[in-house]
Structures are given as C-alpha cells and as structure tokens.
C-alpha cells in the first residue's frame, strides 16, 4: 500500500516551467514621438498593455479640416476621464466635416494639400472648450494620461496634444472626522489633489502662495506639492524640504504617511516630528506663520514642517475661541497630558516603593481591595492596560453600527466582570480609566500614539525602581528630545533652547491681538505679523488715538 501511494504521488507530480516574460518597451525621458502614427500606436499598445488592460481606450479618428482628412488617435484611461467632454467637445469637433478656417497662405494649401500650423488651428479654433497643450516625448504623454488627461496623436506630426479631460473619482468635501472642533471651519481635506490645493487657496488669498510641483516614485508617479508663501517663508527651510523630497527614490508612494517616514529626521524616536493634519484652516495658519506644507496626491492629510513639540498639543479652535475659554481648555489639557503618560507609573511606584506618601486610610483601602487579587500589581496593571488598548483598537476597526456594542461590552460587562472575578482591584480600574480618558484630550493622534507607548515604559520603570526609575526615564527622554531637530529647528523650542516669549502661545495662550510676531525660530522674511496696536478703535490702549 505504501509503495502504491509513492508510485501514485510520483506519477501525479507535475513540473511547471515559468516562461521568461518578453521584454517590455522602456520609457526614457528623451524618447521622442514618431511622425508615423502606426509606430506610435504600436509602441504605446505594448507600453500600456493594450488590449490586455481593458481600461485603456484607443480611439482611431479622422480629423477633418478644410475638406482634408488627417488620421488621428485618441488615448485615455476609462474611469479617469469625463466621457461627455471627449464625445461632445473633442471627437465631435475634430470629426466635423464643416470645419472651415481661413489661412494666410491659401496657394500653398492647394499646392501641397496640407494646412500650415495644424497645431494652432486645433488648439485655438477647434478644441476651445478644454485646456490643450503639446508635448513631444512619450514620457509626458504617459504621465498625463495616468492623471486623467487624453492624448491626441496626428499622423505626420511629432507631437501629441494633451487635452484636459480629468474626472477622477473621489468623495466630496466633508467634515473633518479625526480633528473635531467646537468652533471654526469644519471642512476637511479629501483624496483629490487639486481640491486640497483649492481648499488651502480658499483660506490664504495671497498671490505669493506657491504650490511647487514635485513627483515621487519610479514605477508610478505620485504628484506632490510644496506649499509656502514666498514673501514669508525662510528659503533655507523650503530648500531643505525640496532636497529631501527629491532625494526620495521609491517605486510607489501611496499616502502622505509614507512620505512622512521617508523625510523625517529620526525614524526610531517615539515622538512625531512632522505635523499631519486634515484641516485646511490649520494648514493656512501655519503657512501664514512661515512654515511649509506638503500635499500628496491621494491623501487626505497634509504635512507641515518644521514642527515642534508644542504644535502637537495645540488645537485649531484655540484661536477661534475667546481668550478666557481657550486658556481654560489649554490649562486642563496640560495636566491631562501628564496623567496620560505618568499616572499608572506613579501609582505603581507609590504603592511598591513609597507607601509613606499615601494617607493611612487610603493605604488600608488599597490593601483591602488587593487582598483577594492573586497577581502582582505590575501584572494586573499590564492586564488592564493591554485590555484597554485592545478595546480601543477594536472600537476603531469595528463597523460604525457595532461601535456602541464594543463600548458597552468593554467598559461595563468586561470591567465589572474582571473586578468581580478578583483579577484586578477596583482602584486600578479607576486609574486605567482615568489614564485612558486623559489620552483622548490629546489633540494630535500621532502624539496620542507616542504617549501610549511611553506609558508602558514608565510603568516598567516605576515597577522596577520607583521614583528613581521614573526620573531616569524622564532624563533619557528629555535628552533624546533636546538632541532632536525637525528640518533644522530644535524640537523642544522655545523651552530648549530657551527663547524670548516662552509663555506666549506655547505653554499658555494670549489674546489674538497680542500675537504680534511670528515664531522667531522660523527666521521668516517678515517677523512681524501685525502692528503693535492692531485694535485701532480702542483708544484706551497704550499709544492709541485719544480723542
């Protein structure tokens, strides 16, 4: 029987030979368009894998001008173009037999049976309902049709006419879903490149706002834009951004998060070094300060550089609320940040090494609550923290209709059951819950991730050496942050190195009419953003008009 199976398996074995693929045509920058339409069609058919790729459209047409017909070819990608524009404003106009145009050299037309300046006639007289430009290389042709344009080839001509027929699918502008606000604009970026630049232009109506185009990717080209105000931004910062993006060599770039990792100063540091936002008003405010924004095609987040630590703790609405309200929110935000990082580590440090700091009655309450718990304090704290992170991740990945169910199961059923089973103490549940709620106060989700990672480090340090371990951890962390820069700017500016005006809009917030200068660490071309007295109507201000 064993020999039979061996013989069967031996005979059933098949060998597969992988054929080497035929070499595909290469696309070089200096490969010019041929005068022969047939050669152009053959080359592009192999390059674009037509007709194997069923979304590539090759349309042979006869262009009629002054009773003379010219062979033409229109190439586009179905789904990226507006078919109504192609049918009604390109094909119908080119194939219209009533096209009549006066030319200055009619004798040469009758003699040579050709029309001089064919490109000008088509661009300026026939295709008047869409933007048209001429390119002479295949690289530009492929680049444009991949971005939703259509390419028109004419037999006998060594150029291609690029027609703007873009209709790239995408969602409409909606509210910002991650960076919520109580007051102020609610629009958020979407995945459409030109819509995002228009949203920024909507807030910054300045002719000096520049969107400088750059491309990333070798296999597929992703359009990016470096946005800055030329009369404000420091040229050295713009040059550094341009140098880093041009120095990126990857096959594909799908999102701004990938570009962020490719251009940041340090990869393995926990804290974020580049500010990412989905709010156009936030990008506009930073551009006015003198920073540089990076827009990536296909991403609904825009990168802002350089970024310092205090930028990640500020909310967009801080400038929109009245000074007392914004100050109250920022004062509450700072202790919440402290609790989200250090509260579990402080709790385990005090309970294990510094019991003398706890009031006697509270110490007896903690000891009584942990009397039946079979685990050490470090074990039960890690159990609760890991369970909380799992519930948080599950609530994000779960479909919206089931999100409330996850919250009920995680907070009520699981929390009550784990205490009733004497796995953890009730006080520890309070500590973990307060820590988790404090984490949600953080306005930036990237900084939120870093706080969650740091919390585990401080728990281990507190359980190992108490306050001494926490002090060592804080010292090492501060040493790393003080030695870190973001595009040449120290990360802990203005705290380290210390600069003038440390409390103005970094630690606390001042009234908007007190924000007279731009951040000094940016070294902008215009350091002053508003005069010393911006409220000219208020005669009580020092130096104001007194009538």
The string of pLDDT tens digits covering residues 420-463 is 777 888 888 889 889 988 888 888 889 989 999 999 999 999 99
End-to-end CA distance of the chain: 114
3-state secondary structure of 374: coil
Between 11 and 156, name the one with better pLDDT. 156
Would you state the structure tokens that stand for residue 467, as one six-digit string? 């306050």
- pLDDT tens digits, one per residue of 115-174: 557 888 888 888 887 889 999 999 899 989 998 999 999 999 999 999 999 988 878 888
- pLDDT tens digits, one per residue of 502-517: 556 677 788 888 888 8
| Beta bridge partner(s), residue 59 | 74
Alpha-carbon span 20 to 17, nearest angstrom: 9
DSSP symbol at 172: P
Q: Which residues contact 448 (CB under 8 A, 6 or more apart)?
A: 439, 440, 442
Would you state the structure tokens that stand for residue 60, as one six-digit string? 């042979």
Arithmetic mean of pLDDT, 238-266: 93
3-state secondary structure of 270: coil
* Placement of tokens 């592009």 in the chain: 44
* Placement of tokens 């580049």 in the chain: 274
pLDDT at residue 546, as a whole number: 43
Q: Contact 428/384 with Cβ under 8 angstroms?
A: yes
DSSP symbol at 539: T
Would you state the structure tokens that stand for residue 459, as one six-digit string? 């728990």
Place 545 in a pLDDT band, splitting at 50, 70 and 90: very low
Place 540 in a pLDDT band, splitting at 50, 70 and 90: low
- pLDDT tens digits, one per residue of 311-324: 898 888 888 888 88
* Range scoring the smallest mean pLDDT among 67-71, 454-458, 471-475: 67-71
* Placement of tokens 């040579």 in the chain: 112
Alpha-carbon span 545 to 547, nearest angstrom: 6
Distance of CA 453 to the CA centre of its chain: 22
Alpha-carbon span 415 to 384, nearest angstrom: 9
pTM of the full predicted structure?
Answer: 0.84
| Beta bridge partner(s), residue 166 | 81
- What is the enclosing helix (H) or strand (E) of 516? none
pLDDT at residue 408, as a whole number: 63
Q: Which of 272, 274, 277 is nearest to 300 (CA)?
A: 277
Would you state the structure tokens that stand for residue 425, as one six-digit string? 């103490």
* Percentage of the chain lying above the pLDDT 90 cut: 44
DSSP H stretches of helix in 359-414: 360-369, 377-397, 400-408
Alpha-carbon span 205 to 209, nearest angstrom: 8
Would you state the structure tokens that stand for residue 394, as one six-digit string? 């599950």
Q: Contact 246/214 with Cβ under 8 angstroms?
A: yes
Q: Contact 226/283 with Cβ under 8 angstroms?
A: no
pLDDT at residue 388, as a whole number: 84
- pLDDT tens digits, one per residue of 269-320: 999 999 999 999 999 999 999 999 999 999 999 999 999 998 898 888 888 8
Q: Contact 232/225 with Cβ under 8 angstroms?
A: no
Alpha-carbon span 441 to 449, nearest angstrom: 13
Between 413 and 426, name the one with better pLDDT. 426
Q: Contact 152/161 with Cβ under 8 angstroms?
A: yes
531 exposed, middle or buried (CB, 10 Å; 0-12, 13-18, 19+)?
exposed
pLDDT at residue 437, as a whole number: 87
Residue 26 has pLDDT above 80, yes or no: no
Place 65 in a pLDDT band, splitting at 50, 70 and 90: confident
Alpha-carbon span 436 to 434, nearest angstrom: 5
Q: Which residues contact 540 (CB under 8 A, 6 or more apart)?
A: none
Residue 472 has pLDDT above 90, yes or no: yes
* Percentage of the chain lying above the pLDDT 70 cut: 86
Q: Contact 273/266 with Cβ under 8 angstroms?
A: yes
Alpha-carbon span 241 to 293, nearest angstrom: 9
Ordered by start, the domain boundaries in the chain are 37-163, 193-307, 323-490
pLDDT at residue 271, as a whole number: 92
- What is the enclosing helix (H) or strand (E) of 409? none
């Amino acid at each position: 029987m064993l020999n039979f199976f061996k013989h069967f398996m031996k005979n059933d074995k098949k060998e597969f030979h992988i054929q080497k693929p035929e070499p595909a045509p290469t696309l070089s920058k200096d490969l010019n368009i041929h005068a022969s339409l047939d050669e152009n069609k053959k080359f592009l058919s192999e390059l674009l894998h037509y007709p194997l790729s069923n979304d590539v459209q090759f349309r042979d047409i006869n262009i009629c001008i002054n009773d003379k017909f010219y062979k033409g070819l229109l190439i586009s990608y179905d789904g990226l173009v507006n078919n109504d524009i192609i049918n009604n404003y390109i094909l119908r106009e080119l194939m219209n037999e009533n096209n009549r145009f006066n030319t200055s050299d009619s004798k040469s037309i009758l003699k040579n049976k050709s029309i001089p300046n064919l490109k000008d006639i088509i661009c300026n007289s026939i295709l008047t309902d869409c933007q048209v430009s001429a390119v002479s290389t295949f690289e530009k042709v492929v680049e444009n049709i991949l971005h939703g344009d259509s390419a028109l080839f004419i037999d006998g001509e060594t150029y291609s006419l690029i027609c703007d027929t873009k209709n790239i699918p995408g969602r409409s502008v909606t509210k910002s879903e991650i960076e919520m606000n109580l007051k102020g604009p609610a629009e958020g970026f979407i995945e459409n490149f030109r819509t995002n630049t228009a949203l920024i232009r909507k807030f910054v109506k300045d002719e000096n706002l520049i969107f400088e185009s750059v491309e990333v990717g070798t296999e597929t080209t992703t359009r990016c834009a470096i946005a800055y105000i030329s009369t404000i931004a420091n040229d050295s910062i713009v040059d550094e951004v341009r140098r880093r993006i041009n120095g990126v060599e990857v096959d594909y770039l799908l999102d701004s998060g990938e570009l962020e990792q490719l251009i940041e100063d340090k990869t393995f540091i926990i804290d974020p070094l580049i500010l990412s936002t989905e709010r156009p008003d936030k990008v506009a405010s930073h551009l006015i300060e003198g920073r540089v924004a990076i827009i990536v095609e296909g991403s609904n987040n825009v990168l802002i550089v350089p970024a310092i630590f205090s930028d990640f703790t500020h909310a967009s609405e801080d400038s929109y609320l009245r000074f007392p309200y914004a100050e109250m929110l920022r004062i509450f935000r700072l202790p919440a940040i402290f609790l989200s990082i250090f509260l579990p580590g402080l709790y385990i440090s005090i309970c294990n090494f510094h019991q003398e700091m706890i009031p006697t009655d509270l110490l007896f309450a903690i000891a009584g609550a942990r009397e039946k718990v079979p685990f050490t304090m470090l074990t039960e704290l890690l159990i609760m923290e890991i369970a909380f992170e799992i519930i948080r991740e599950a609530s994000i990945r779960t479909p919206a209709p089931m999100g409330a169910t996850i919250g009920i199961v995680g907070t009520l059923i699981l929390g009550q059951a784990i205490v009733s089973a004497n796995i953890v103490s009730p006080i520890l549940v309070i500590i973990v819950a307060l820590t988790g709620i404090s984490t949600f106060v953080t306005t930036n989700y990237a900084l939120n991730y870093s706080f969650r990672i740091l919390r585990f480090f401080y728990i281990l340090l507190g359980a190992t050496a108490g306050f001494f371990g926490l002090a060592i951890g804080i010292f090492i962390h501060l040493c790393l942050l003080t030695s870190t820069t973001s595009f040449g700017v120290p990360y802990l500016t203005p705290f380290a190195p210390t600069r003038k005006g440390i409390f103005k809009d970094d630690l606390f917030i001042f009234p908007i009419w007190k924000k007279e200068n731009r951040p000094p660490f940016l070294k902008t071309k215009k350091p002053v953003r508003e005069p010393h007295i911006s409220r000219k109507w208020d005669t009580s201000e020092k130096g104001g008009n007194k009538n």
